[in-house]
Structure 1
Amino acid sequence: MALRDDALTVPLFTAADASRLVGVPAPTARRWLEGYSYQYRGERRTTAPRLGPHAKHVEGVLLMSFLDLLEVRLARRLRQRGVPWRNVDRTAVWFRDAWKAEHPFVLRRLRSDGRDVFAEIGRNLGDKALMRIGTDQYVFDAIVEPSLFDVLDFRPDGLPERLWPAGRDAKVVVDPARAFGEPILDAFGIPVRVLARAYVANDNDAARVASAFEIPVEAVEAALRFDAGLRVAA
């Protein structure tokens, strides 16, 4: 599993990728991964990085790992549901201590254990939002199920290893062990970006691209639909 472990934690994804692939605005992802400064009552204050233990700058560009990317994704959901950052932080600490995991928010067991865990943490912290997550089926499902987990493939140890950013029917997967984490057509391993460029270079003729790459026209069309979605999200 050594190669796969490295793939999960190597910094590959930019803040722009977080926006396109998991719907977290790039400035938000950067603030969470880098920290930021702000003025409060005339005083300059600094917030430390909240997420992304593997995030780092490479040639001036902030990069995050696959697990960092998915953790940013869940943190966004919690914040959208009104959970204060101080309790997101404390919840993460609780999970790390209890589950002995560096990235507890992305573990598969969160899907089965999360309801009770959030309720327990909510009671300890006095956070009604977390208690609602734990006790109200609708609210909990809106955050944790099904969208956060149905688009992930997990290893036997419970860590996610692949993301289907537009759902499985889109046929496009993000696998950090393939094509350096670029979105690819799963069945053929061809990056969506490559097919989109070939489409433009071939006068927007999907059939010619399909012939050149020896894949079905439907596969090219699936890649183009996904690429169009990425451009909208950018």
Structure 2
Amino acid sequence: MQPGSQPFETLTGIGLYTPAEAGRLLRIPPARITRWLRGHEAGGRRYERLWTPQADLGEDGLFLGFRDLQEVRVAAAFIARGLSPQRVRRAIDLARCVLRDEHPLSTARFRTDGRSVFLQVAEEDGETRLLDLLRGQFAFREIVERSLSNLDYDEDGIPQRWWPLGRGKAIVLDPARSFGQPIEAETAVPVDVLAAAAEAEGSPEAAARAWDVPVRAVKRALAFRQAMAASAA
């Protein structure tokens, strides 16, 4: 680990992903993720990164934490709705001040209508209002659909677990387990371990016997791997 980088023990519980891993999980080109988190130059102009990643390994390379993974997911959804990265960066800066959270974009309180970004605010009168972060005023309008789905949040709206293919597929990313790598939810065994066992043993049934897990757990891991490979093709 390089001087000035984050101590390895502080990475426990936040997850750890390379841009390539994040790209496969999010179905976003890794180069785009790198640009957003490192900044880049284009047309003689410097564009700063959208936010500072959770994981700082110095010169060992760019890595994302679990919150970064979800921030990228939301940023991509906002940009897909027509917002420029610069407007997303401005919304992040404003929301960081409002929520006092270094990774505000991944909270459950963000919304967009394709033109601006709103922060959901509950008022004392019981009404739900949307604070327009790009105009600095409250907007009275319907809450647009969340950009995030298949997430488990804590009571403060902070994402805790992500089910990338939906809960029914039983594959989950939990930063508190296996450094946030995909695991089979029923057994808590990493997807890569079960998939590799199936390849080594020659069948899901043989892998299940070797690992003393249900055959369905191995098949879920293989299905997830296939889904990720298909999305990357």
Deviation at 1:185?
0.6
| 2:114 paired residue number | none
Aligned partner (choices 198, 218, 221) of residue 220 of structure 1:
218
After superposing the two structures, state which structure 1 stretch, 77-86 or 45-54, moved more.
45-54
- Please provide the CA RMSD for this pair: 2.6
Partner of 1:230: 228
The corresponding residue for 2:73 is 73
Higher helix share: 1
**Displacement of 1:124:** 4.4
- Distance (Å, rounded) in 2 between the aligned partners of 1:160 and 1:116: 22
Partner in structure 2 of residue 22 of structure 1: 26
5+ residue gaps, structure 1: 126-130
Matched with 1:102 is 102
Give the match for residue 49 of structure 1.
49
For 1:229, the aligned partner's letter is A
1-side partners of 2:191 and 2:107: how far apart?
A: 28
Post-superposition Cα deviations, 1:127-167, rounded to whole Å, max 9, x if no partner, equal xxxx8xx8466xx32xx25xx13x11122332111111111
Q: CA deviation at 1:18?
A: 1.7
Q: Is the 8 A contact 1:51 1:72 kept in 2?
A: no
- 1:121 partnered with 2:130: no
Establish whether residue 61 from structure 1 lines up as the match of residue 56 from structure 2. Answer: no
In the alignment, the residues of structure 2 paired with residue 213 and residue 88 of structure 1 have an alpha-carbon distance, to the nearest angstrom, of 45
Q: TM-score, normalised by structure 1?
A: 0.79
Aligned to 1:102, the other structure's residue is in SS state coil
Secondary structure of the structure 1 residue equivalent to 2:160: strand
* Contact 2:14–2:179 (Cα < 8 Å) also in 1: no
Corresponding residue SS for 1:51 = coil
Residue 188 of structure 1 is matched in structure 2 by 187
Give CA deviations for 1:177-225 in whole Å, capped at 9, x if unaligned: 111211001121111111111111122x111111111111111111110
Which amino acid in the other structure matches residue 22 of structure 2? A
Please state whether the residue corresponding to 2:179 is helix, strand or coil: helix
1:24 Cα offset (Å): 2.2
Give the TM-score of the pair, scaled to structure 2: 0.79
Amino acid at match of 1:68: D
The count of aligned residue pairs is 209
CA distance in 1, matches of 2:56, 2:216: 38
Listed as ranges, the gaps of 5+ residues in structure 2 are 1-9, 112-118, 122-127
Structure 1 vs Structure 2: percent identity of aligned residues? 34
Q: Distance in 2 between matches of 1:57 and 1:233?
A: 29
